[in-house]
Amino acid sequence: MKILTFKASMSEDLSKLCSIQIDILKIDISFVRKMLADKHSRYIVETIIYLSKKLNMKSIAEGVETDEQFNLLKELGCDCIQGFLLSKPLDVEKFKTMLV
């Protein structure tokens, strides 16, 4: 499985969409943090989610820390989230106990 994270240097990231097989588009934490207060960041998040759907990929947003961020991402159709809203970083053993 290959994941492409969209960061501020998007021109390089966009060229990778055509040259390698990618399964998931990952939305960088910098956009997630600003999307509620900055309309341009929100538009970028919306566009990445839209692009993932058009290219038959999944989208994942990193750094989700608040219910407001989660709700907006859900409304926009983001497939997955990761961040402190779900859990702090875990060591392997603690993670394994959560799976059982």
- Active-site residues: which are they? 62
What gap in Å lies between CA 72 and CA 14, rounded to an integer? 24
Task: Enter the tokens of residue 94.
Answer: 């603690």
What is the edge-to-edge ordering of all strands in the sheet holding 58-61? 3-6, 24-27, 58-61, 80-81
